[in-house]
Amino acid sequence: MTTADGRQICKACQVDKVLADFHFRNDNGKYRAVCKACWGARCKKWHQDNPERRKAHRDKWERKNPGHVTKRKADYRERHPIKYRLWNLLNPEKKKQLNKDWKSRNRPRVAAQAAKRRAALAQATPKWADFEAIQDVFIEAEYFQLEVDHTVPLTSKLVCGLHCEDNLQLMTTADNRRKSNKYWPDMP
């Protein structure tokens, strides 16, 4: 019961607390009878005792709210970039499986991205390019387990490089991802 001075006794811990320590319920316009701390402990215990029901409830909610889930995950990655990268480094097999699953669920997007890349390559390959030298670079990359990177990116806001042997370099996967299409020699 709420007192006139804005206080209430928690039914769980029997402690007299200010109303700010209780959740307000919009459905009935009253404060919860149990304080936030006790409610949190009760929810935590329920989650521990009912992991299957919790997962089923969360999965159902995520299916009904896909846009919200995507936004929440993107916000989390933006707020915790180091934590996100660290998880990726510590769980390479899980990350690889997640990527594989995503690609199988998003085949049209993957195909569109690949087509865009092929078109950019075709447009960026000059007629005088030495295709044997380009192929040798890719063979060398496979032998040393490195990636082929375009020194000057094929597509960027400021510059577009060529797909030729002089614009190719070998890099580790991590360095190539870090570089992306944002850096090149003599960058303005």
Q: What is the pLDDT of residues 44-81, one digit of tens each?
A: 999 999 999 999 999 999 899 888 988 988 898 899 88
Whole-model pTM: value is 0.42
The ranges assigned to domains in the chain are: 1-61, 126-179
Cβ(124)–Cβ(162) below 8 Å: yes
- Identify the CATH assignment for 1-61 out of 3.40.50, 3.30.60, 3.30.1490, 3.30.70: 3.30.60
Q: What confidence tens digit (pLDDT) does each residue in 159-183 have?
A: 888 888 898 899 998 888 888 877 7
Residue 4 is predicted with a pLDDT of: 67
Contacts of 78 (CB under 8 A, 6+ apart): none
HEC string of the chain equals CECCCCEEECCCCCCEEEHHHEEEECCCCEEEEEEHHHHHHHHHHHHHHCHHHHHHHHHHHHHHCHHHHHHHHHHHHHHCHHHHHHHHHHCHHHHHHHHHHHHHHCHHHHHHHHHHHHHHHHHHCCCCCCHHHHHHHHHHHHHHCCEEEECCCCCCCCCCCCCCHHHEEEECHHHHHHHCCCCCCCCC
Rounded alpha-carbon distances, angstroms, from residue 159 to 49, 117, 121 = 57, 16, 14
Q: What confidence tens digit (pLDDT) does each residue in 71-127 have?
A: 988 898 899 889 888 988 999 999 999 999 999 998 888 887 887 777 777 788 888
